[in-house]
Amino acid sequence: MYDVIVIGGGPAGMAAACAAHAGGLKNILIVERDVELGGILNQCIHNGFGLRYFGEELTGPEYASRFIDRVKEAGIQVMLDTMVLDLGTDEDDGNGKPLKTVTVVGRETGFRKLKARSVILAMGCRERTRGAINTPGMRPAGILTAGAAQRYVNVDGYMPGKRVVILGSGDIGLIMARRMTLEGAKVLACVEVMPYCGGLARNVVQCLNDFNIPLYLSHTVTDIKGKDRVQQVVVSKVDDKMKPIPGTEMYFDCDTLLLSVGLIPENELSLKAGIKVDQKSNGTVVHENMETSVEGFFACGNVAHVHDLVDNVTREAELAGRSAAEYVLTNYYTMWVNQQLMKSGTYRYNRKKGEIQHFLPPSPDGAAFKMGENEFICTSCPRGCHLKVYPDQNYRVTGNGCPKGRIYGRNEMTTPSRVVTTTVRLRRKADAVLNLDGENASPATDSTLYDFRVPAKTSGPIPKTRIMELMELVDKIELDERPAIGDVIVKDVLGLGVDLRVTKR
């Protein structure tokens, strides 16, 4: 019997489990489908995570690593490589609270029905596909969602293509525009049907503008050519009813179309437990303490609604974890509002219904990215302040919301610099199964050399003009031993005074 079972070992699940532990629960279990904790953060090797929560800029695997440490310290149990098949409510526990059953299956786990006093749903979300937006044209290879491409490139080290068009300007699409460029592909265009960009301003600056990738707002893909592999993508301008305007066609000869057209909370499991799901967003409908419509089930992270920042996921998950602890440990638990959370801008509390309603923050206007002379969008944090720099006035900066903006603006005028994230090649024998400590749980039996990819980043920003030079250097690196997080791969890379370091445990 568990006090709480957390479904999903991504950022939401880990933070919720830790908070439930801090809230006094002892017997906590995380069920994770993958063979390691971290969820999608493991493929998000770029930086920009943790500014709000940790006050420093981390890559996805680094952010995950901090929570994996916390999970270990708290003694939270973890079932890896295990999938939840069913959820339900069972008999009463004697205190007037119904017990939950969680049916799981896994290679090592077997098929089991687990019991718990409470359940936290942290299954995350999936990507909308071409089928959901009914893009016309052929259906050849080379059309994939940006997240799938991210997994292929960053985890498997497979290149999905060499000439790329991106449909949709969601954050993953923007991030993948930069990634594909760094990996040596040519990104021809990013196409967005709305008159504004779907992703964060900082990603437009760092992922598109830095590499001169055009962003076509109010445009969409109107045809895909190629029987077996994508050969051409046709892009048309749309009118204010989002209907393509004939005669505005642009033709891109390419081999790949990446889709970044939205995320959908994965609530199919929640529905099995009879939990109410919002018809429009597919997010779990939750009370202010993140409890769902079914008692003792809590939801957090992208399963509740799609977040743009993992830091907000963590805060929300901590609330869910604390609430689950309160539910299990007290007979009359109180509902309360986390003021900080309500301020985050993506929630609105409806007192009449007693529910938090989710809404998306207003997206920046497309015109906002057309910068005038000496104007910049600050990328120091997700806020994206619009700066103007006056070089003749000792680089005075206006428009910044904090001192970081002043430094950013000045650097952008003099030597614009970026932290570069990448993967490096690792060729070694496979580990059969890794346990939570990153050690072999069972020994490898096969001696074939496998080609792995290890995430890495520069320990500080390097001049923008040297980025591609660095990437060419990275191509030549080959590790033969599995390194630890923080290990230096190349010291003083290109003589720029920064190191290339491993970012994954």
CA-CA distances (angstroms) from residue 187 to 106, 142, 157?
40, 14, 18
Residue 329 binds other proteins, judged by CB under 8 A: no
Angle (deg, nearest 10), helices 60-73 and 11-22: 30
- Of 10-18, 106-114, 320-328, 366-374, the segment contacting other proteins by CB under 8 A is 106-114
Nearest distance from C-beta of residue 259 to other proteins, angstroms: 10
Cα 171 to the center of its chain, rounded Å: 9
Residues near other proteins (CB under 8 A), total: 68
CB nearer to other proteins: pick between 263 and 294: 263
- Residue 131's SS3 state is helix
Structure tokens that stand for 422 in this block: 């990448």
Q: Which of 203, 150, 125 is nearest to 43 (CA)?
A: 150
Applying CB under 8 A, which of residues 138, 250, 407, 485 lies at the interface with other proteins?
138
Which position among 139, 348, 353, 491 is part of the footprint of other proteins (CB under 8 A)? 139
Binding other proteins (rule: CB under 8 A), the pick from 88, 157, 262, 416 is 157
In angstroms, what CA-CA distances link 378 with 46, 413, 437?
Answer: 18, 12, 38
Report residue 17: phi and psi, to 5°: -65, -45
User: Which of 88, 106, 262, 399 contacts other proteins by CB under 8 A?
Assistant: 106
Structure tokens at 167: 């449909």
Residue type, 27: N
Report the site for other proteins in 184-203 (rule: CB under 8 A).
184-185
Q: Which CB sits closer to other proteins, 183 or 291? A: 183
Choosing from 81, 278, 355, 469, the residue that interacts with other proteins (CB under 8 A) is 81
**CA pseudo-torsion sign 453, 455, 459, 464:** positive
Element housing 146 (H / E): helix 146-150
Q: What minimum distance in Å lies between the beta carbon of 355 and other proteins?
A: 22
Tell me if 360 contacts other proteins by CB under 8 A: no
Q: Are 387 and 376 in contact (CB under 8 A)?
A: yes
β-bridge pairing 186-192 and 215-217:
parallel
Interface with other proteins by CB under 8 A: which range of 122-130, 340-348, 372-380, 480-488? Answer: 122-130
Q: Which of 57, 210, 223, 375 binds other proteins (CB under 8 A)?
A: 223
Q: Residue 194 and residue 105: Cα distance in Å, rounded?
A: 42
Q: Contact between 392 and other proteins (CB under 8 A)?
A: no
Which residues are at the interface with other proteins (CB under 8 A)? 33, 81, 83, 85, 103, 105-113, 126-127, 129-132, 134-142, 144-145, 147-148, 151-153, 155-162, 183-185, 222-224, 227-229, 244, 255, 264, 268, 423-425, 430, 450-451, 453, 471-472, 474-475
